[in-house]
């Protein structure tokens, strides 16, 4: 298991590397005087325009995030993929955002007091990378179908049990398959909502904010106020 970055606050808070374009300046020596003079006497209207191109981050530029020891507590860490502008890979559904569970169905019926109701999860996407931050964990993965680039982290139940999870996009669905377990976790878009098939239940989530936005409150405060399902 590779632990590239350890986030003190939210393990999820890994530092984002920024890429900056640097213009090279040639040194001026005695042989450069004529060129300098020409530039200084050339009318501004005839000088070539200077264009600065902003370079965005790619999925490769940002270190992998991991769940901090003991989970990240009640305050969600800063976004992991902030500033990443790489387009999503082909076949990837748009799952990015801050989402809240507004309805849970189990056994074919809606469960009004299910413990998952009101829970918050943040999903970030960039290129083939996807990060889920929820319930104290940070699960950072490449959605490429390989074990090597999948989730190598800990389970939410105790923040201790190691897990390895393979991630794929299949027919517009994000599918997680824990190695060694005959289960699948699925997320897909259905209109403005996410439908989340988890272990033993199916939940519907409403988008309550952007993936790169500050939640504005502790997770406890957000989860205590559940919006109505659409």
- Please report, for the domain that includes residue 100, its CATH number: 2.40.128.20
- The full 3-state SS of the chain, as one line of letters, equals CCCCCCCCCCCCCCCCCCCCCCCCCCCCCHHHHHHHHHHHHCCHHHCCCCCCCCCCECHHHCCCCCCCCCCCCCCCCCCCCCCECCCCCCCCCCCCEEEEEEEEEECCEECCCCCCCCCEEEEEEECCEEEEEECCEEEEEECCCCCCCCEEEECCCCCCCEEEEEEEEECCEEEEEECCCCCCEEEEEECCEEEEECCCCEEEEEEEECCCCCCCCCHHHHHCCCCCCC
In a domain, 75, yes or no: yes
In a domain, 195, yes or no: yes
Given this model, what pLDDT does residue 220 score?
87
pLDDT of residue 225: 77
pLDDT value, residue 163: 98
Q: Which structural domain, as residue segments, surrounds residue 77? A: 59-223
120: nearest Cα among 99, 149, 151? 99
**Taking Cα atoms as reference points, which of 133, 117, 126, 111 lies closest to residue 209?**
133
Q: Is residue 44 part of a domain?
A: no
Q: What integer pLDDT is reported at residue 152 of this predicted model?
A: 99
Task: Supply the pLDDT for residue 227.
Answer: 64
pLDDT of residue 82: 94
What is the rounded distance in angstroms from the CA atom of residue 221 to the CA atom of residue 50? 49
What is the C-alpha end-to-end distance of the chain, expressed in Å? 41
Answer yes or no: is 10 within a domain: no
Residue 210 placed within a domain = yes
In a domain, 123, yes or no: yes
Question: What are the 10-residue block averages of pLDDT along the chain, 230 residues in total?
Answer: 36 31 34 36 40 70 98 95 97 98 97 97 98 98 98 98 99 98 98 97 98 85 72
How many folded domains does the chain comprise?
A: 1
What is the pLDDT, as a whole number, of residue 228?
Answer: 64
Q: Does residue 37 belong to any structural domain of this protein? A: no
Is 8 part of any domain? Answer: no
């Amino acid at each position: 298991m590779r632990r590239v970055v350890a986030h003190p606050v939210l393990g999820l808070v890994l530092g984002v590397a920024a890429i900056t374009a640097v213009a090279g300046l040639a040194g001026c020596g005695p042989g450069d005087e004529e060129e300098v003079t020409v530039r200084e006497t050339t009318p501004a209207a005839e000088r070539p325009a200077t264009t600065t191109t902003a370079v965005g981050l790619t999925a490769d530029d940002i270190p992998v995030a991991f769940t901090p020891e003991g989970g990240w507590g009640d305050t969600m860490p800063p976004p992991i993929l902030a500033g990443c502008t790489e387009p999503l890979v082909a076949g990837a559904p748009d799952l990015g955002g801050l989402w809240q569970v507004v309805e849970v169905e189990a056994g074919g019926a809606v469960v009004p007091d299910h413990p998952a109701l009101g829970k918050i999860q943040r999903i970030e996407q960039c290129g083939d990378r996807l990060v889920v931050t929820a319930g104290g964990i940070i699960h950072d993965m490449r959605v490429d179908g390989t074990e090597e680039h999948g989730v190598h982290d800990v389970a939410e139940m105790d923040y201790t049990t190691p897990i390895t999870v393979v991630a794929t996009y299949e027919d517009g669905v994000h599918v997680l398959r824990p190695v060694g377990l005959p289960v699948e976790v699925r997320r897909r878009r259905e209109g403005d909502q996410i439908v989340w098939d988890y272990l033993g239940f199916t939940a519907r989530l409403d988008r309550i904010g952007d993936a790169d936005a500050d939640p504005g409150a502790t997770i406890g405060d957000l989860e205590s106020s559940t919006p109505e399902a659409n």
